[in-house]
Amino acid sequence: EDQVTQSPEALRLQEGESSSLNCSYTVSGLRGLFWYRQDPGKGPEFLFTLYSAGEEKEKERLKATLTKKESFLHITAPKPEDSATYLCAVRILSGGSNYKLTFGKGTLLTVNP
Amino acid sequence: DVKVTQSSRYLVKRTGEKVFLECVQDMDHENMFWYRQDPGLGLRLIYFSYDVKMKEKGDIPEGYSVSREKKERFSLILESASTNQTSMYLCASSFLERKKETQYFGPGTRLLVL
């Protein structure tokens, strides 16, 4: 069964304290790994897509990397406004020629001032 | 910018009522999706549609149906709402370009079934 596991479930950082979130996956036929940010009571906001092992994407204080088994979301010198739940999802074949996303349960990041 | 809108942010319904959740996207996307999100369970796919009048079951379709009469609109229907369908419902849309696809989400509808 295809699995996406995010760790830790929750992470509390001080402002400026860099860290990483992990997303490990056991899927066959990966066709993309996605990172989303979700604020309380809102829909997920797209951050990055990674398609190949070794690929990296950056946006402001965030950097996403991908290996054959996992992805990391590195947060450099975080600010309180980076506090959110970060979701990882993998795109896999859903029978026939259609694809679907399978999501991890998310990491709740809190950055204290 | 991609815009996905959902008809209601909050909805309160009674057990047994028929409930319609509407989703509209303005980017001419072929694919549309309905998810529900529950604490500890994450986002789970209910149904998706890759073309007008086409639909495919996701991971948890029981108790739900969908309708896609126009490309921009995808409706989720709860034929007879039950308390275990209390949840946050999220709609998303996407298009495929050179084998790459990104899903964009709406703001969500928080449904309470009493």
Contact assignment for A103 to B43 by CB distance below 8 Å: yes
pLDDT of the residue at A2: 63
∠B30-A49-B42 over CA atoms, to 5°?
80
* pLDDT at A54 exceeding the cut of 70: yes
Q: How far is A1 from chain B (nearest CA, A)?
A: 12
The edge-to-edge listing of strands for the beta sheet with B19-25 is B4-6, B19-25, B73-78, B65-70
Provide, as residue numbers in chain A, all residues whose Cβ is less than 8 Å from the Cβ of B32.
none
Instruction: Provide the shortest C-alpha distance from residue B20 to chain A (in Å).
Output: 19
Q: What is the per-residue pLDDT across A56-90, written as a single tens digit (0 to 9) for each?
A: 999 999 999 999 899 999 999 999 999 999 999 99
**Per-residue DSSP letter, B84:** G
Å between B71 CA and nearest CA of chain A = 17
pLDDT of residue A4: 93
- Name which of B43, B101, B108 is nearest A99 (Cβ-Cβ): B101
Site of tokens 């529950």: B38
Write the pLDDT tens digit of every residue in B34-46. 999 999 899 999 9
Q: Which of A31, A43, A106 sits opposite B105 (nearest CB)?
A: A43
- Enumerate the β-bridge partners of residue A26: A3
| Cβ–Cβ < 8 Å for B34, B67 | no
Cα of B106 to nearest chain A Cα, Å: 6
Dist CA A89 CA B92 (whole Å): 14
Computed over every residue of chain B, the mean pLDDT equals 94
B38, B57, A95, B105: CA torsion to nearest 10: -50
The mean pLDDT of chain A is 93
**Three-state DSSP class for B10?**
strand
What one-letter code names the amino acid at A108? L
**pLDDT category of residue B96 using cuts at 50, 70 and 90:** confident
What percent of chain A is predicted at pLDDT more than 70? 95
Q: Using beta carbons and an 8 Å cutoff, which residues of A are at the interface with B? A: 31-32, 34, 36, 41-46, 49, 51, 87, 89, 91, 94-95, 98-106
Does residue B4 register a pLDDT over 80?
yes
Closest partner CB to B42 (pick from A49, A98, A103): A103
Quickly state the pLDDT bin for B74 (edges 50, 70, 90).
Answer: very high
Would you say how long chain A is, in residues? Answer: 113
Q: Of B42, B100, B104, which has the smallest distance from its Cβ to A106's Cβ? A: B42
